[in-house]
Amino acid sequence: MKKPILVIKFGSASITTPNQEIDEAVIANVAVQVAQLIQKYNIVLVSSGAVAAGKKLLKNYTGTLSEKKAAAAIGNPLLLQTYAHYFSPFGISIAQSLCERHHFSNRNQFLQLQKTYEELWKSNVIPIANENDVVSNLELKFSDNDELATLIAVGFGAELLLFSTSVPGVLDADGNIIKEFKMMDAAALSVAKKEKSIVGLGGMTSKLTFARLATQMGIKAVIFSGRSENAIIQAVNGETGTICRAQKSNISARNKWLASGSLVRGQLQIDEGARKAIQNRHSLLAVGLVKIVKSFVAGEVIEILDLTMQTIAVAKTKIDADTLQNLDNLQNVEIAHADDIVLI
């Protein structure tokens, strides 16, 4: 029987020391736990830390974009060497997977990535993914590795997505850990504090945002601190951190990719009648259009916003924005077919 997929994301702060060097004790602990979990799961590690590992070797580092790219170039092999060293005693090899945003927005490229990972798993090799910071286009970057981990989890149909952080979970106003979110709604997203770590790009808002996407696609997510001895195994068992419960999902693999991996190019706002129509699995017709918020061309993926400007769906369009704006009669003009609309 095919193993379920487990994606574990390690933030920079969770695997580096206060001096922003790779914390080898943490990596060693990760290896011990993953060696147990690999018996049950096909595992992907998404690991930050390359910039933190490499920047100490740059003279007069100030954090400019080019310096960060240089630090990543230095730090990536250092990070991978550390993982390889501590996984080797368990007979586990690791592989580097440097990803760019277009690898997910192009479905054929994404399927190639998927096949590569499947070949690695057959040989007991764990892919360690990170953004290819050295060449990534600034406009097409992942927002952070929380996004990369979520795109892998959703695209591969993972069972479980773990976010290892520097804090024990999502905290309420009194500083207590929120044990569980049964539904990732606006109230859940509102509890996130805005601060982020010195070495990381994201923060709790990022983790909750992508946990919401994962749970809507049927994946359980856990936000936890990975520094204690058995934290990863406890997170897998739902015994630590904040659990974000998976919602029931009958979305096809293609539409999961559409909702998560594709690059959103445009936005439009629709009226209440159109909102009800697409939620009842009907096509989006131009008669329900309120306004075009951001232009697009036919075949691109757009966000569909309701009257409150909340994103309620993504869709692959059949018509471009300019044509849509210049039509005299919008009756029966189809913007997106029902099969190309994914509610989120």
| Secondary structure element (H or E) that encloses residue 99, with its range | strand 93-99
Distance CA 236, CA 240 (A): 9
Packing angle, helices 145-156 and 204-216, rounded to 10: 10
Closest CA to 45 of 214, 202, 158, 170: 158
Closest alpha carbon to 180 in 139, 221, 130, 229:
221
* Confidence (pLDDT) at 139: 45
Tokens of 256: 């999961």
CATH number corresponding to 5-253: 3.40.1160.10
Q: What are the extents of the domains in the chain? A: 5-253, 263-343
CA distances from 310 to 146, 195, 274, 291 (A): 21, 24, 14, 14
Query: Distance (Å, rounded) from C-alpha 202 to C-alpha 96?
Result: 22
Other CB atoms closer than 10 Å to residue 62's CB: what's the count?
7
The tens place of each residue's pLDDT in the chain, 344 residues long, gives: 589 999 999 988 889 888 878 899 999 999 999 999 999 999 999 998 888 888 889 999 998 888 988 988 998 999 999 999 999 999 999 999 988 877 777 778 888 999 999 999 999 999 999 887 666 655 444 557 888 898 899 888 899 999 998 889 998 888 889 999 988 777 777 775 544 443 344 478 778 888 888 898 889 999 999 888 899 999 999 999 999 999 887 777 777 777 666 656 788 999 999 999 999 989 999 999 999 998 988 877 888 999 998 888 888 888 989 889 888 777 789 999 988 888 87
What does the pLDDT read at residue 200? 40
Residues, the chain, total?
344
pLDDT at residue 116, rounded to an integer: 95
8 Å CB contact between 163 and 211: yes
What was the pLDDT predicted at 1? 54
**Bridge partner residues of 162 (DSSP):** 8, 222
> Look-up: residue for tokens 């790779």?
22
Per CATH, which fold does 263-343 belong to? Answer: 2.30.130
Residue 145 tokens read as 């590795």
CA dist., res. 293 & res. 315, Å (int): 15
Count the neighbouring beta carbons within 10 Å of the beta carbon of residue 220. Answer: 20
pTM: 0.78
Q: Are strands 5-10 and 264-270 parallel, antiparallel or unpaired?
A: unpaired
Residue 154 pLDDT = 87
pLDDT at residue 278 in the model: 93
Helix and strand counts by DSSP (H, E) for the chain: 13, 15
